[in-house]
Amino acid sequence: METQQQIWQNMTGRIFQSSITELVEEAIIREQANGHRLKVCVGSDSHVYGDTISYATAVVCIREGKGAFAFIRKQKEIQTISIKERMLNEVNKSVEIAYAICSVLDTYGVEMEVHADINTDPDCKSNVALKDAMGYILGMGYVFRVKPYAFASSNCADMMV
């Protein structure tokens, strides 16, 4: 299943015309041909600017022992929502992309993790969404990571939002 037409870019801003499914498949074929073993991590982050929420979703392809590269999608929504709803929107955006690329990853034997920019410390605001996010991601059958191990969301997506 392919999600709606979206614009993807790399970390330097280069725009790609292909779908995320095509981008990931081309990357897997290229990297495996070069002898690299890959793992893919998907994560989203958001920032609030008045009544606008800017989201970024990162698909990070890690070359085992040889660095990484990422594909980024940016989106904006005009609405006022709670921190819990915003955290769950981030998770939903990540799961949407994970679902879109999972068949390609399965075909080529590539592992995937879904990262949530949620803190396990109960004193942090994002913690209100931890149980719901964890249940959603694990219920979809994906490996789940939160801070400080959720670099796809808390680092890659964060710097592009």
Q: Taking 70 as the threshold, does the pLDDT of residue 5 lie above it? A: no
Instruction: Report pLDDT digits (tens) over 58-87.
Output: 999 999 989 999 999 999 999 999 999 999
β-partners of residue 57 are: 44, 73
Residue 79 three-state SS: coil
- The CATH number of the domain holding residue 144 is 3.30.420
Q: Is 74 inside a domain boundary?
A: yes
Which domain range does residue 151 map to?
A: 8-160
Q: What's the structural domain count of the chain? A: 1
The Cα 161–Cα 92 span in angstroms is: 16
The Cα 72–Cα 16 span in angstroms is: 10
Read off the DSSP letter of residue 155: I
Ramachandran area for residue 109 (φ above 0: left; ψ -120 to 50: alpha; else beta): left
Maximum separation of any 2 CA atoms in the chain, in Å? 47
Q: Is 52 inside a domain boundary?
A: yes
Tell me the pLDDT of the chain averaged across its residues: 93
Residue (of 111, 122, 116) closest to 150 by Cα position:
116
Q: Is 69 inside a domain boundary?
A: yes
Q: 48 phi and psi, to 5 degrees?
A: -100, 130
CA-CA-CA-CA torsion for 79, 82, 88, 92, nearest 10 degrees?
-10
Instruction: Report pLDDT digits (tens) over 24-55.
Output: 999 999 999 999 999 999 999 999 999 999 99
